[in-house]
Amino acid sequence: MIPGFKYFPEYLNKDEQKSLLEKLRNKIQQNPLFEPQMPSTGKPFSVKMTNFGSLGWVSDKNQGYRYQATHPSTKSPWLPIPDILLKLWNDLADYPEEPECCLLNYYHNEKSKMGLHRDEDEEDQIAPVFSLSLGDTAMFKIGGLTRKGPSNFIKLASGDVVILGGKARKAYHGVDRILHGSSQLLKHGGRINLTMRRVTPPKIHTL
């Protein structure tokens, strides 16, 4: 496995997962899921998304991938990142700044997946990306620094945390498919993935 990849299986127990899910459900009412589009073609993603934090990741036909402070349809600022997630970041990310974005991906049906990509829309490429999975298990693929070349599959189950830091921060990764029916957590099945990211460059600390 590429250095900097850290895996914490079932880091959240079932009760913690349920209580976080309840908080997310309430926030999603105000921060509705939207369907991002591929740049230039406008083809919709197979996952739905929303964000929490001062910046959210969005994408559409005309402007492509970017971070912005407001929801693309409601135009309201994103709601804050839930405290429990900030606590997980502080406990595990080993990074002095708080995350600015928590992207929520909802893999809602049999076709939901995420193609091989790198997270490179963040100016801060040093801060790790923190990922928490809820609901059905995902076949997560992680390769190296090039699109081609060997990759590993890891099954991400509900409550699992992954950190992409160090070299792994720049690794190609994606979700090949979801094992529908593998968890009872979400009422209608499917999977939620939450990734926390630092977007703006780290502050330079001087004496």
Token look-up 């990741």 returns 57
Residues numbered 168 to 207 that lie near ligand AKG (CB under 6 A) are 173, 175, 193, 195
Alpha-carbon span 99 to 128, nearest angstrom: 10
Query: What backbone phi and psi angles, to 5 degrees, belong to 125?
Result: -100, 5
**Cβ atoms 117, 142 nearer than 8 A:** no
Residue whose CB is less far from Fe ion, 10 or 119 = 119
Instruction: Count CB neighbours of 153 within 10 A.
Output: 10
Under the binding rule (CB under 5 A), the answer on residue 176 touching Fe ion is: no
Residue whose CB is less far from ligand AKG, 79 or 104 = 104
Query: Measured from the CB of residue 156, what is the shortest distance to ligand AKG in angstroms?
Result: 6
Compose the 81-120 pattern: x for residues touching ligand AKG by CB under 6 A, - for all others.
----------------------x-x--------x----x-
Token look-up 């250095």 returns 3
Size of the site for ligand AKG (CB under 6 A): 12
Cα radius of gyration (the chain): 16
Q: What does the binding site for Fe ion look like in residue numbers (CB under 5 A)?
A: 119
